[in-house]
Amino acid sequence: MKREMTGAEMVLQALKDHGVQHVFGYPGGAVLPIYDEIIQQDDITHILVRHEQGAGHAAEGYARSTGKPGVVLVTSGPGATNMVTALTDAMLDSIPLVCITGQVPTHLIGNDAFQECDTVGITRPCTKHNWLVRRIEDLPRVLHEAFYVATSGRPGPVVVDIPKDIQFATGEYEGPNNIAHKTYRPRLKGDMSAIRQAVELIASARRPVLYTGGGVINSGPAASQLLREFVELTGIPITSTLMGLGAYPASGKSWLGMLGMHGTYEANMAMHDCDVMIAIGARFDDRITGRLDAFSPGSRRIHIDIDPSSINKTVPVDLPIIGDVAHVLEDMVRIWRSSSLKIDQSAMKAWTGQIDTWRARNSLAYRPSEDFIMPQYAIQRLYEHTKSRNTIITTEVGQHQMWAAQFYGFEAPNRWLTSGGLGTMGYGMPAAIGAQVANPDALVIDIAGDASILMNIQEMSTATQYGLPVKVFILNNQYMGMVRQWQQLLHGNRLSHSYTESLPDFVKLAEAYGWHGIAVDKPADLDDAIEEMLASPKAVIFDCRVANLANCFPMIPSGKAHNEMLLPDEANDEAVAKAISKEGKALV
């Protein structure tokens, strides 16, 4: 059914037709017609942020915690440029976002008009696709395509740039039903003969390992369910990237912990020594592989991914399977069940025995203290107090993020929202706001660092306005801890500008925004204080003063291989100072 309406009305209608309930945004001259429609309807709730970057990360938090696309509305020029970090973040972590930007009217484009910028030019490399809509006739189709492209295949952010005159123009609107995209049709089903070969290869393994990533989460809850089934069936030990935590439960008996630079010793050693590696929705990122030419030297590799460009990008694989994780796993589980295939049990016993000896190195150990709160201990206590609740954890970027990944046990997908690919400080609080909007009954906690939290601190005001009781748990070490750690490793412990001077009084800051503030510096007070935080109906800043100079271990030093980890019990000052070779120093 076609209907006459204005461009601004089309935007709202398309959002409704795609089931959108919340939009994160910030107004300005070039989007006023759309804002004028927003206030005249009730179906879609607009959440006013305090900075467009906050809108972007909030929409990411919304998307990651629900699997639905996050929607953002911002104005031209500075509104659009403020979105660039969030778009890039969503691009690298494959998060579906639909970002609508206002643009100066078409006749002014190219004139350096007020608040004009080349939005599609600027956002081209940091979106999956983008459109500048120059004709009202194109607007409905582009809006529908935007949702389709953002959410299908490997998800990602898209931008629809709409000049102001197009928002005022009238045209015919048609719903999303009859829209088939001309070119973009990602493949969902895997090739059956490749899947059969994969199953046979797995059955012949003696030292198999599953290496899973964010693709499992992106594929949807069914993928996590099937993954669990497959692990149950085969007994294969499983590790995950930072992005994939929660797909397999941390309490599961095949769980090795996270792998990579700050992953566990057993996960990294299993990757190094395995004979068959099954990579699922993971992309062999440099934080995972360590030194490439020493990466898992004896393994044959199966790689399941929806994006063909992920295959053989950095690490050659023997058996690629292009397809959606849930679709492929469904076939694998079915074939495995209907066959009499079985992994050699004595080989598996030897392999899990070997893994147990690695596990016994206790690579996450730290020295407890009665005087200072150790940051690892703080996360452990937070976990104990919140594990039985419906909890969503977001993070900022730094040591606290890695400690959260190491010490908080994730049992379900879409419960762990962190900026993995881009490593964006300032991600966590707006992401928590977005997650809380989508999950009003959940307990949403941003595990933060004292430096990162200041990067989008203005969003406290958003949480207050909408009564969102997010909890910000700051591991306050008064340093940019991760930077300090690298300076210690790489630069003779010369701590150039990594001390966070002049921090605010976080308790007073909380009060100033109408939040509740708590500060703790004694381990003995920690439990009660966490309970106080959880009992508060308000948003809370929890200023947890932790040991200042703790380092995050274990660690694969830059330029080293999986089997050259620096373990906490070996990491004395001298070992730390010498851990990275001259060549390794050039790496990030």
Partner 1 sequence: MNAQNINAPSAYFMAEVSEKLETHTLSVLVDNEPGVLARVIGLFSGRGYNIDSLTVSETEHEKHLSRITIVTTGTPQVIEQIRHQLERLVPVHRVIDLTVEAHRNNQDKPLERELALVKVAGTGEKRLEALRLADAFRATVIDATTEHFVFEITGRTNKVEQFISIMGPLGLIEVSRTGVAALQRGGKAL
Ligand X SMILES: Cc1ncc(C[n+]2csc(CCOP(=O)(O)OP(=O)(O)O)c2C)c(N)n1
Q: Which residues are catalytic?
A: 52, 114-115, 164, 482
* Binding residue (CB under 8 A) for partner 1 from 40, 111, 178, 183: 183
Q: HSE of 566 in the Cβ direction (CA atoms, 13 Å)?
A: 23
The 3-state DSSP class for residue 104 equals coil
Radius of gyration for the chain, computed over Cα atoms and rounded to the nearest angstrom: 24
Which of 182, 492, 501, 572 is the binder for partner 1 (CB under 8 A)? 182
Q: How many C-beta atoms surround the C-beta of residue 176 within 10 A?
A: 15
The one of ligand X, partner 1, none whose footprint includes residue 149, by CB under 5 to 8 A per kind, is partner 1
Neighbouring residues of 138: CB distance < 8 A, sequence distance ≥ 6: none
Nearer to ligand X, 48 or 507 (CB): 507
Among 94, 264, 268, 452, binds ligand X (CB under 6 A): 452
φ, ψ of residue 72 to 5 degrees: the values are: -130, 145
- Contacting residue, 124, 135, 342, 389, with partner 1 by CB under 8 A: 124
Among 450, 473, 553, 555, binds ligand X (CB under 6 A): 450
Q: Print the binding letters for residues 327-366 with partner 1: x by CB under 8 A, - otherwise.
A: ----------------------------------------
Joined tokens for residue 330: 């469904």
Taking CB under 8 A as the rule, which mask of x and - marks residues 284-323 in contact with partner 1?
--x--xxxxx-------------xxx-xxxx-x-------
Indicate the pairing of strand 2-6 with strand 170-174.
antiparallel
- Quote the least distance from Cβ 482 to ligand X, whole Å: 4
Tell me if 480 contacts ligand X by CB under 6 A.
Answer: yes
Among residues 268 and 424, whose Cβ is nearest to ligand X? 424
CB of 91: closest distance to ligand X in angstroms?
15
Closer residue to ligand X (CB): 266 or 396: 396
3-state secondary structure of 195: helix
Residue 482 contacts which entry, ligand X, partner 1, none (Cβ below 5-8 A, type-dependent): ligand X
Rounded CA gap, 449 and 552, in Å?
13
Report the partner that residue 307 touches, choosing among partner 1, ligand X, none (CB closer than 5 to 8 A by kind): partner 1
Is the separation of the CB atoms in 143 and 10 below 8 Å?
A: yes
In this chain, which of 317, 364, 475, 489 binds ligand X, going by CB under 6 A? 475
Among 136, 559, 568, 579, binds partner 1 (CB under 8 A): 559
Backbone angles phi, psi at 100, to 5 degrees: -105, 125
CB nearer partner 1, residue 135 or residue 508? 135
Question: What binding mask, one character per residue, do residues 481-500 give for ligand X by CB under 6 A, x or -?
Answer: xxx-----------------
Minimum CB distance to ligand X smaller for 88 or for 151: 88
Q: Which amino acid is at 434?
A: G
Nearer Cβ to ligand X (398/554): 398
**Closest distance to ligand X from the beta carbon of 448 (Å):** 7
CA distance 533 to 445: 10
- Does 444 interact with ligand X (rule: CB under 6 A)? no
Can you give the three-state secondary structure of 230-261, one letter per residue? Answer: HHHHHCCCEEECHHHCCCCCCCCCCEEEECCC
Please report, as residue ranges, which positions from 374 to 433 form the binding site for ligand X (by CB under 6 A).
396-400, 423-425
Q: Which residues contact 397 (CB under 8 A, 6 or more apart)?
A: 419, 423, 424, 425, 427, 449, 452, 482
Q: Which residue, 291 or 359, has its beta carbon nearer to partner 1?
A: 291
Q: Which of 82, 94, 224, 477 binds ligand X (CB under 6 A)?
A: 477
| Alpha helix (H) residue ranges in 360-412 | 375-386, 399-407
Instruction: Give alpha helix (H) positions in 82-176.
Output: 84-93, 119-123, 139-151, 164-168
- Report if residue 137 touches partner 1, rule: CB under 8 A: no
Residue with Cβ nearer partner 1 (284 or 473): 284
Dist CA 306 CA 42 (whole Å): 37
Interface with partner 1 includes 185 (CB under 8 A)? no
**Which does residue 316 bind out of partner 1, ligand X, none, counting CB within 5 to 8 angstroms by kind?**
partner 1
Secondary structure (H, E, C), 7-66: HHHHHHHHHHHCCCCEEEECCCHHHHHHHHHHCCCCCCEEEECCCHHHHHHHHHHHHHHH
Question: Helices (DSSP H) in 318-468: which residue ranges?
Answer: 325-338, 345-359, 375-386, 399-407, 428-438, 460-465
Tracing tokens 């994939």 back to the chain, one arrives at 244
Of 260-289, which residues contact partner 1 (CB under 8 A)? 286, 289
Those residues with Cβ within 8 angstroms of residue 125's Cβ, 6 or more apart along the chain or in another chain: none
Residue 129 interacts with partner 1 (CB under 8 A)?
yes
The tokens describing 398, both together, are 């730094």
Binding site for partner 1 (CB under 8 A): 120-121, 124-125, 128-129, 132, 149, 182-184, 286, 289-293, 307-309, 311-314, 316, 558-559, 583, 587-588
Binding site for ligand X (CB under 6 A): 396-400, 423-425, 449-452, 475, 477, 479-483
